[in-house]
Structure 1
Amino acid sequence: MTTSLPIVDMALLDGDDADRALFRDRLLEATHSVGFFYLVGHGVSEEAIDDMFAVSREFFALDDDAKKSVEMVKSPHFRGYTRFGGEYTDGGIDWREQIDIAAEYSPLDGDEDYLILDGPNLWPDRLPGLKTAVRDWQERCGRIGLRLMREWATALGASRDAFDEGFADRPSTLIKLVKYPGRAASDKQGVGAHKDPGVLTLLMVEPGKAGLQVLRDEEWVDAPPVPGAFVVNIGELMEWATDGYLKATMHRVVSPPAGDTRLSIPFFFNPALSSTMPHLELPAALKDEAPGVTQDPANPISGTFGENMLKARLRAHPDVARIHHPEMV
């Protein structure tokens, strides 16, 4: 199969030593050169994928009152539903509706601003099956995420458990159910150009629905869905941990044509808010190809996940920030 992104087969990890070494080589090359790849052989069944898209359709089919009952502006923790035009990326308005559902923990005491991100989700009363479906998806994707982190650690010359500590207690996972409506307008920003602020993203896209674009060699290339595959990309924390050897890549979504829609389910696998990613000492051969972390005064990268995530939330949801955290605006 010819695609615009590399394809990495996780089933190789169930083979012999040579297969596992081949997987690590392909994983490292994909995320060093592109920062994105298609993950196949991950073990999530077609039935489970269909079930998640089915519950997504049920949510978006709810009437406005039901969706507004769980609107994000009601949550100081940036959880819940965002209507069309309610989120900003790269200074522009994203044209999508979505619900954000994160891992639920009781807030911790402390002075760090990012601790406001912990708290309860907003669950719609009219769709009780959503909670069960999301928690099942969290568990499935969390297992894949941790397995990938251990393979990256090994491939980068570190101990296999180099990244484990950040995910051992209160990992900050986040799921979005997203619907992009078709647009005839000249402004086709479904979601604007950005890098993810965390560690890695497992994205499942409705079959046959294009729109995702990845910046490669200063050109936007289409990354249409591959049946049953996750689109995986790394975020700023992996770039930080490897001094730029692994690449957090700009990407965006272009709205579908008028009369069509597009569903996607991104899962963000991130460590605890207070955790700081280890800064790995790379083998000499890799270190020579590490250009350093991207220096952008408008978007400084922190190795502490909570700091990275809070700046992204405040920027993306200024209405929530003004209502609940005016001192941070």
Structure 2
Amino acid sequence: MAANTPSFTKIPILDYSLSTSPTTKLQFLSDLRNALINVGFFYLINAPISPETQQNVIQKGMEIFDLPLEKKLEIEMINSKHFLGYSQLGAEITARKQDYREQFDAGPGEPLYRNIRGPNQWPDEDAIPGFRQAMESYLAEISPVSDAFRGLISEALDLPPTALDPYFDDPQQLKMKLIKYPPPESSAGETQGVGPHKDSEFLTFLLQATPHPGLEVQNKSGDWIAAAPVDNSLVVNIGRALEAMTGGVCVATTHRVSLVPRNFVDPTGASLGARFSIPVFLGMGLDLSGDQITLQIPPQIKELIRDDQVRSDAEATFNRIFSGRTGEGTLLHRVISHQDVGRRWYPELLDFALQQQQQGTGG
């Protein structure tokens, strides 16, 4: 966190269109630098994703959860060693607790960790016409945005625009989730939609597909700041990988989804139904290791981080993420999150990961 800067109390809004004009780009980079260093989250408005593409992915993303259970189980994630496909309610674990959500994961002769990439499990076209096209169209339009942010983040840190390019595969690694959070069964207490965590990848681009509140971001004072949906926006947040490789300059911020009953009704008290969201995760090259990272943050940027604990945590995270290949760490994370898939396809790795977690060394 920048010296003498109080904890943030709201999520900044950045206008992507400012980054495309020479007359406004410097303002965008200044706003981005503040978000990277002091918050770790921001709303991105006016990203070049067509309303039709966005509406289609939302519509088809909702429809897949309405399929009969037997149709969804035909593409269940446990059938895929690539962690792609449908997950039943409560199948994923975050912060060692079950998440109350259904989801569908999709993405675009080698080491084991290469198995995290593979063919998608698409539902029967007759059961949900146009689903695959809607997913692929959305990924095709968000890909240039995620690609551009490698250069924009570099420039915001006073680095050459191509400084981060060597750390990504070509094509870059994108993974999309379709997530449904049903209304909680109990009107008392709070249900974990997804528990407090930091994303492990480089960047996350989240489309909040319905008007529900519930996404919350924790500031340095420990307060939870609401990140309610904003029209025409994506929520972008920093992952642990970016924080680690910048020595804590870019901050990965803890966040969660709260399913308190009030988040499922509008101001008049009418039900909003289920909450839907669509995150896309930008990952780094699977074969990347620490000895390949030569990123040198300029002194004037490093000077903005005077918190020794931040630097220490970033260094520890760097050593953990990049001690081997990044793909190895990603696979361990997936095995822990989806233990049913891990038990079927990677039982020895799951046992190892659980042991590491019990010892307090897991991510």
Q: TM-score when scaled to structure 1?
A: 0.91
Q: 1:201 is matched with which residue: 178, 191, 204?
A: 204
Partner of 2:244: 240
Partner of 2:66: 61
Partner of 1:314: 335
Per-residue CA deviation, residues 158-180 of structure 1 (Å, 9 max, x unaligned), is: 22112223335242210001100
- 1:42 equivalenced with 2:43 (yes/no): no
Give how far 1:313 is off: 0.4
Deviates more, 1:22-31 or 1:268-277: 268-277
Deviates more, 1:317-326 or 1:302-311: 302-311
Partner of 2:159: 158
Per the alignment, do residues 256 and 101 of structure 1 end up closer, same or farther by CA in structure 2, a change over 3 Å counting?
farther
Partner of 1:4: 10
Cα pair 1:207 1:227 within 8 Å, conserved? no
Per the alignment, do residues 299 and 212 of structure 1 end up closer, same or farther by CA in structure 2, a change over 3 Å counting?
farther
Partner of 1:173: 174
SS in 1 for 2:313: coil
> What amino acid maps onto 1:119 in structure 2?
G
Partner of 1:120: 119
Q: TM-score when scaled to structure 2?
A: 0.83
Per the alignment, do residues 293 and 122 of structure 1 end up closer, same or farther by CA in structure 2, a change over 3 Å counting?
farther
Partner of 2:304: 289
Per-residue CA deviation, residues 90-125 of structure 1 (Å, 9 max, x unaligned), is: 01100000000012xxxx523xx3222121111111
Q: Structure 2 matches for 1:1-329, cutoff 5 A?
A: 4-17=10-23, 19-103=24-108, 108-110=109-111, 113-125=112-124, 126-185=127-186, 186-217=189-220, 218-255=222-259, 257=261, 260-276=273-289, 278-290=293-305, 291-292=310-311, 294=313, 301-303=320-322, 304-329=325-350
Give how far 1:43 is off: 1.8
SS in 1 for 2:17: helix
Cα pair 1:97 1:180 within 8 Å, conserved? yes
Give distance in 2, aligned partners of 1:300 and 1:182: 40
Give how far 1:207 is off: 3.7
Per the alignment, do residues 145 and 182 of structure 1 end up closer, same or farther by CA in structure 2, a change over 3 Å counting?
same
Give how far 1:228 is off: 1.2
Cα pair 2:106 2:120 within 8 Å, conserved? yes
Per the alignment, do residues 168 and 85 of structure 1 end up closer, same or farther by CA in structure 2, a change over 3 Å counting?
closer
Give distance in 2, aligned partners of 1:45 and 1:119: 28
Cα pair 2:199 2:238 within 8 Å, conserved? yes
Give how far 1:14 is off: 2.6
SS in 1 for 2:82: coil
Cα pair 2:335 2:342 within 8 Å, conserved? yes
Per-residue CA deviation, residues 190-218 of structure 1 (Å, 9 max, x unaligned), is: 01111111100100002421110101121
> What amino acid maps onto 2:106 in structure 1?
I
SS in 1 for 2:225: strand
Give how far 1:298 is off: 10
Give the number of equivalent residue pairs: 320
Cα pair 2:18 2:25 within 8 Å, conserved? yes
Bigger radius of gyration, 1 or 2? 2
Which structure 1 segments of 5+ residues have no match? none
> What amino acid maps onto 2:192 in structure 1?
Q
Deviates more, 1:158-167 or 1:4-13: 158-167
Cα pair 2:248 2:314 within 8 Å, conserved? no
Give distance in 1, aligned partners of 2:233 and 2:204: 13
Give how far 1:42 is off: 1.0
SS in 1 for 2:173: coil
Give how far 1:188 is off: 1.0
Per-residue CA deviation, residues 290-314 of structure 1 (Å, 9 max, x unaligned), is: 4425269899741343133212101
Give distance in 1, aligned partners of 2:20 and 2:319: 39
SS in 2 for 1:84: coil
Per the alignment, do residues 297 and 146 of structure 1 end up closer, same or farther by CA in structure 2, a change over 3 Å counting?
closer
Give distance in 1, aligned partners of 2:105 and 2:30: 34
SS in 1 for 2:230: coil
Per-residue CA deviation, residues 254-309 of structure 1 (Å, 9 max, x unaligned), is: 12636631010001112331134735211112112344252698997413431332
Per the alignment, do residues 29 and 301 of structure 1 end up closer, same or farther by CA in structure 2, a change over 3 Å counting?
farther
Give how far 1:129 is off: 1.7
> What amino acid maps onto 2:161 in structure 1?
R
Q: Percent identity among equivalent residues?
A: 33
Cα pair 1:115 1:273 within 8 Å, conserved? yes
Cα RMSD, aligned residues only: 2.1
> What amino acid maps onto 1:309 in structure 2?
T
